[in-house]
């Protein structure tokens, strides 16, 4: 089978650092779902790694593999069980795959106004930044003053090394975080032990599918369509105009990930504009970054299994928060090209609606409604 992107992959320090750019989203959610909902940590790590590898070979750009955030938030808030979480992801993936196969997503991608997409991207950027700030202010193992000081140091590191590929900021921050874990809580490292693990079937029951559809899958579906397909494809055009991600291919990728990994108890996964922006911001330019990340995740899951949870749970949230803020800035920078003054109004209303209502789907519809109303009014004046 021909894999055209392999020859373009790089495996230098910049790609390695870029592969860590989405840790601020991935690590806290996976640890929380494992600790509070009983989700299998090694299954989550292994299958996220597996599809990092598949994505690297299939897209050739640093396309992130992230947890489905709405499902994760609902699961943590309402105490869903692991099987219900998995079932919700499989529902969403099946729907997205069907839309991709039907060609509907391609039509949606071509016809959604640019101003609305830019507004959605900017709302996502601000959400990432605010989540990063919350992480800094709630850095569990550290008191408030130490957490802020650590965040300031991490921020200075990002600024000072923003153009460096010889000494990449994300790699420095990751190694510093590991060093702080070893100093602050050495017992967390002592808990990591060779504990071989291999995937086993854990198929949800029909009752799990029934509960998951209404409680978690339906709230997640609009976010997956907008962020994991529409916004990520638009961002790929901005960052990688020679190799943009096609909507149909992205939709099928989301579908395959969870329909394959779900029966083994893996967390619901998707692609995301924030993850792509974060990995690009910290140096990733080819699929080589996430190929390295995927192989590392798989090896860690198979060799150390659930014993990794303790060390991951005490990684400084201030460092992850700064990485999230940097990712948000990169995504916001990509959304700067809005267009005419009318388009700015539509984009800003979309941002305001998404954030005020805490609902990206509803905010998207409000922005789209304003754009259509303005078009109708303009046509009426012209006639």
- Nearest partner of 125 among 267, 285, 280, 263, judged by Cα: 280
Q: Is the CA virtual torsion 269, 288, 197, 38 positive or negative?
A: negative
Q: Is the CA virtual torsion 84, 86, 87, 89 positive or negative?
A: positive
β-sheet bridge partners, residue 269: 67
Q: Which are the contacts of 161, defined by CB distance < 8 A and separation ≥ 6?
A: 167, 168, 169, 172
Give yes or no for a contact between 334 and 238, defined as CB atoms under 8 angstroms apart. yes
The 10s digit of each residue's pLDDT in 166-181 is: 777 888 888 888 888 8
Any domain includes 312: yes
To which H or E segment does residue 301 belong?
Answer: helix 288-304
% helix / strand / coil in the chain, to the nearest 5? 75, 0, 25
Residue 22: other Cβ atoms inside 10 A:
28
The 10s digit of each residue's pLDDT in 327-372 is: 788 777 766 766 667 788 888 898 899 889 887 778 888 988 988 8
β-sheet bridge partners, residue 66: 270
Q: Residue 347's pLDDT is what?
A: 87
Give yes or no for a contact between 60 and 51, defined as CB atoms under 8 angstroms apart. no
Of 41-45, 222-226, 244-248, 288-292, which gets the smallest average pLDDT?
A: 222-226
Q: According to the 3-state scheme, what is the secondary structure of 147-178? A: HHHHHHHHHHHHHHCCCCCCCCHHHHHHHHHH
Longest dimension (CA), the chain: 75
Q: Which are the contacts of 345, defined by CB distance < 8 A and separation ≥ 6?
A: 370, 374
Q: Does pLDDT of 207 surpass 50? A: yes
Provide the mean pLDDT of the chain.
Answer: 85
Any domain includes 142: yes
Any domain includes 174: yes
Q: Residue 217's pLDDT is what?
A: 87
Residue 123 to residues 6, 127, 188, 230, 306, Cα–Cα distance (Å):
34, 6, 36, 14, 35
Provide the domain count of the chain: 1
Q: Residue 1's pLDDT is what?
A: 47
DSSP-assigned letters across all residues of 37-90? H---HHHHHHHHHHHHHHHHHHHSS----EE-HHHHHHHHHHT--HHHHHHHHH
The 10s digit of each residue's pLDDT in 50-93 is: 999 999 999 989 999 988 887 887 788 678 899 999 999 999 99
Q: 189 or 255: which carries more pLDDT confidence? A: 255
d(CA 281, CA 13): 14
Any domain includes 181: yes
Region of 283 on the Ramachandran plot (φ > 0 left; ψ -120 to 50 alpha; else beta):
left
pTM: 0.81
For residue 154, the enclosing domain spans 6-382
The 10s digit of each residue's pLDDT in 111-159 is: 788 888 888 888 878 887 888 888 787 765 555 567 788 888 988 988 8
Any domain includes 1: no
Give yes or no for a contact between 201 and 263, defined as CB atoms under 8 angstroms apart. yes
Any domain includes 350: yes
């Amino acid at each position: 089978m021909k894999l055209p992107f392999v020859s373009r992959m790089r495996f230098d320090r910049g790609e390695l650092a870029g592969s860590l750019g989405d840790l601020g989203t991935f690590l806290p959610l996976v640890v929380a779902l494992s600790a509070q909902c009983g989700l299998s940590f090694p299954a989550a790590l292994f299958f996220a790694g597996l599809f990092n590898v598949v994505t690297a070979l299939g897209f050739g750009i640093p396309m992130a593999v992230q947890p489905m955030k709405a499902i994760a938030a609902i699961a943590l808030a309402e105490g869903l069980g692991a099987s219900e979480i998995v079932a919700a992801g499989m529902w969403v993936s099946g729907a997205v795959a069907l839309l991709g196969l039907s060609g509907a997503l391609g039509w949606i991608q071509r016809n959604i106004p640019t101003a609305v997409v830019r507004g959605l991207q900017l709302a996502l950027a601000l959400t990432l930044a605010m989540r990063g700030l919350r992480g800094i202010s709630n850095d569990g193992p550290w008191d408030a003053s130490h957490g802020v000081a650590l965040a300031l140091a991490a921020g200075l590191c990002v600024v000072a090394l923003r153009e460096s590929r010889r000494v990449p900021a994300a790699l420095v921050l990751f190694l510093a975080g590991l060093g702080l874990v070893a100093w602050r809580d050495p017992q967390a490292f002592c808990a990591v032990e060779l504990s071989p693990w291999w995937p086993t079937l854990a198929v949800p029951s029909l009752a799990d599918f029934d509960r998951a559809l209404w409680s978690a899958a339906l709230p997640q579906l609009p976010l997956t369509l907008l962020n994991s397909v529409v916004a990520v494809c638009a961002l790929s055009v901005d960052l990688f105009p020679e190799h943009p991600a096609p909507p149909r291919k992205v939709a099928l990728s989301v579908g395959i990930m969870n329909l394959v990994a779900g029966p083994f108890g893996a967390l619901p996964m998707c692609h995301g504009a924030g993850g792509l922006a974060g990995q690009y911001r910290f140096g990733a330019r080819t699929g080589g970054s996430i190929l390295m990340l995927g192989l590392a995740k798989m090896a860690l899951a198979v060799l150390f299994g659930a014993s990794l949870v303790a060390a991951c749970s005490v990684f400084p949230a201030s460092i992850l928060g700064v990485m999230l803020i940097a990712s948000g800035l990169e995504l916001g920078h990509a959304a700067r090209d809005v267009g005419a003054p009318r388009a700015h109004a539509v984009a800003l209303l979309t941002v305001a609606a998404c954030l005020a209502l805490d609902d990206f789907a509803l905010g998207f519809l409000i922005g789209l409604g304003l754009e259509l109303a303005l078009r109708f009014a303009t046509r009426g004046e012209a006639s």
